[in-house]
Each structure stands twice: as structure tokens, then as C-alpha cells.
Amino acid sequence: MPAEDGGLGLIVVLDFRAQLWKWKAGVRHDDATWVLGRIVELDKLLPLGAAGKRKPLALVGFDGENNVTLVRTSCGIFLVHLHSMTFKRLCNSGSARDIHIYNAFSSFYDADDFL
């Protein structure tokens, strides 16, 4: 994923926290490293249900062009905009049996456009 400064980024979800990492190039090739940019408390951002009944979160999709990620929770699938930390519920089912991977399409083309 792109980092906030436009470089290479990485998102890691542990429990109910999303860690946003960025690649920091060093002066020499061997001193480049991953640096923690920020931590997002997803349990404070998203409606996840009762604390005792929460299931683990899963990242199920990403759209790098729009800097959004798709997060599966026990309360549904959410589109999370990583810059503004706003979200939108896409569906109410968060069951892993329903759908495993999502693709965040930002546009579609009519077949007539190619003829």
C-alpha cells in the first residue's frame, strides 16, 4: 500500500489495532528499514459488537489508488479510508464463510467502449 508520504507502506492488523508502517530508505542500501507511522484503534473506529463476542478482524481487500482497505468484522464488511479514518459499512455479514476476498473496484467500462 502507499504510505502517507507516498512511499511504500504496509498495514498489519493485530487484535483490534491496525499498524501503518512505512519503508524508510537509508543512506546506504543496508540501513533501510520499516518505521511505524501510526496505530489505528479499530475497535474505537468501527462498530464491532459486544466486547465479549468480538471475533478477530481480517483485512480482505485493498484499493491503493484510493487508499482504502476492506475490513471484515463480526458485524460486517467495512470500507475504511486510511487518510481520513472514515468508514462505510458495505454489508452486514461478517462471516468468513460468506466471502473471503473482496476487490475494491473504482470504475467499470462498458463493453461498447472497446468496440
- Residue 41 domain flag: yes
Quote the number of domains for the chain.
1
Q: What is the pLDDT of residues 8-53, one digit of tens each?
A: 888 888 888 888 899 888 777 778 889 998 888 888 887 776 666 6
The whole-chain average pLDDT of the chain stands at 76
- Residue 63 domain flag: yes
Q: Order of strands, edge to edge, in the sheet holding 9-14?
A: 9-14, 17-24, 33-41
Distance between CA 89 and CA 74 in Å, rounded? Answer: 12
- Residue 2 domain flag: no
pTM score: 0.68
Q: How confident is the model at residue 100 (pLDDT cuts 50, 70, 90)?
A: low
